Amino acid sequence: MNPLKVDRIFKQYGDKTAVNGISFEVGEGEIYGLLGGNGAGKTTTMRMVLGLIYPDGGSIQYHGKPYSAEQLRGLGYLPEERGLYAKVKVSDQILYLAQLRGMSRKDADANLKRWLDRFGVPEYYGKRVEELSKGNQQKIQFIAAVIHQPKIIIMDEAFSGLDPVNVELLKGTVKELRDSGTTILFSTHRMEHVEELCRNITILHKSNPVLQGNLKAIKKQFPRERVKLHTDGDVSGLEAIGGVLRVDRRENGYELLIDREEAARPILELALAQTNVQRFEVMEPTLNEIFIKTVGESHE
């Protein structure tokens, strides 16, 4: 039984369909990626999972049970836009939110101190949120989402507005949560984060799930059509090989676009005949390419 099961949920605002029948399941210790452009329906989907709004159709099950106030309290939520009291001390508001989620003040206090230590900012305990930088506010926001040790966490644009050091810090923390068995629903624009973290994904486009499934399997569906070729000297005649669509000169070699994987072999052979080959790789499509391709295609 997967902790989070979303079954054909559907939401309409007036005449406009915001989410059109999305289904997915997230297992224990899994990070599930929800991708999509602006206005694709990610946030609406997440809000439905959170119980902030109710789906017009379909169902959501938490640990096999339908929506209830008790279930909702067990969720952790990291909203896209920051949601903290600017003028309230960090300790006061985190403890408040933890208590509302049914935690004792004492336990929450211990947890908060542990998390602040974990992020290396124990001195923020008594500070007001408005005194902190944006990145540090984000850390506090993150703590607010995990303070009550939720089994299911929903993260909307978890790493937006952070510098690379803090992105790594939070990413590491998210991975730890995953490894300790937490179920995480995750949305972002940053494809490299999805590739690094997620096992399964759904790409939403204009309210519809357009691509869904295991990330590796999805990648396999897409032809490998980029070839990286690093050589000592120049190679001529690459354009003439059948199946090569485009050749781009790079700093230390070439990048080629092919229309079928069989075209890769003659490229390597031609290169070896002319010079030393440092690197040759038929590249997997990146999620970025898949995303643009999927979303772009349905435009047409």
Partner 1 sequence: MSNSFWTVVGFTVRNKFRGKAFVITTLVIALILSIGINLPYIIQKFSSDDNEAVSIGYLQKTEDMLKSSTFNNATLAQALNKHFEASPEPALKLVPFQETGTPQGDEKALKQAIDDGKIKGYIEFQAGATGAFPDGFPDVVYKSEKLMDTNVTESLAGALQAVKTEMVLQDSNLSQAKRDLLLAQVDVQTLQITTTAGAGNVGEGKTSSEQAMDMGLVYVILILLVMAIMVTGQMIASEITAEKSSRVMEILITSVAPVTSMFGKIFGMFLVGLAQMLVFVGVILLNMALPHNREPLADLNIRLADIDPVLLVYALVFYLMGYFLFATLFAAVGSLVSRTEDLGQAVMPITVVSLIGFYVCMFGGLSNPDTTVMKVFSFIPLFSPYAMVVRLGLANPAAWEVWVSIGLLLITILVAGWLSARIYRAGVLMYGKRPTIKELRKAMKAYKV
Site residues (CB under 8 A) for partner 1?
A: 14, 47, 50-54, 56, 69, 72-73, 75, 77, 79, 81-88, 92-93, 96-97, 99-102, 144
β-partners of residue 212 are: 202
CB atoms within 10 A of CB 46: 22
The CA distance from 236 to 282, in Å, is: 19
**DSSP character at residue 70:** H
Q: How far is the CB of 98 from partner 1 (least distance, A)?
A: 9
Output 79 or 285, the one with its CB closest to partner 1. 79
Would you list the DSSP string of 9-21? Answer: EEEEETTEEEEEE
Output 69 or 217, the one with its CB closest to partner 1. 69
Which residues of the chain form beta strands (DSSP E)? 4-13, 16-26, 31-36, 57-62, 75-78, 152-156, 183-187, 200-205, 208-214, 226-231, 244-250, 253-258, 277-283
Q: How far is the CB of 161 from partner 1 (least distance, A)?
A: 14
Output 100 or 110, the one with its CB closest to partner 1. 100
Output 152 or 191, the one with its CB closest to partner 1. 152
CB atoms within 10 A of CB 23: 14
Q: How far is the CB of 27 from partner 1 (least distance, A)?
A: 22
Q: How far is the CB of 49 from partner 1 (least distance, A)?
A: 10
Q: How far is the CB of 200 from partner 1 (least distance, A)?
A: 24
Compute and round to an integer the Cα radius of gyration of the chain.
23
Reference 284, options 211, 201, 220; nearest CA is: 220
Contact assessment for residue 191 and residue 291, using Cβ atoms and an 8 Å cutoff = yes
Output 99 or 149, the one with its CB closest to partner 1. 99
Contact assessment for residue 108 and residue 146, using Cβ atoms and an 8 Å cutoff = no
Output 89 or 199, the one with its CB closest to partner 1. 89
Q: How far is the CB of 40 from partner 1 (least distance, A)?
A: 18
**DSSP character at residue 65:** B
Q: How far is the CB of 189 from partner 1 (least distance, A)?
A: 19
Output 96 or 280, the one with its CB closest to partner 1. 96
Token output for 195 = 């590739």
Output 82 or 230, the one with its CB closest to partner 1. 82
Amino acid code (one letter) for 34 = L
Reference 188, options 296, 80, 289; nearest CA is: 80
Q: How far is the CB of 75 from partner 1 (least distance, A)?
A: 6
Per-residue b or e along 229-245, where b marks 16 or more CB atoms closer than 10 Å to that residue's CB = bbbeeebeebeebebbe
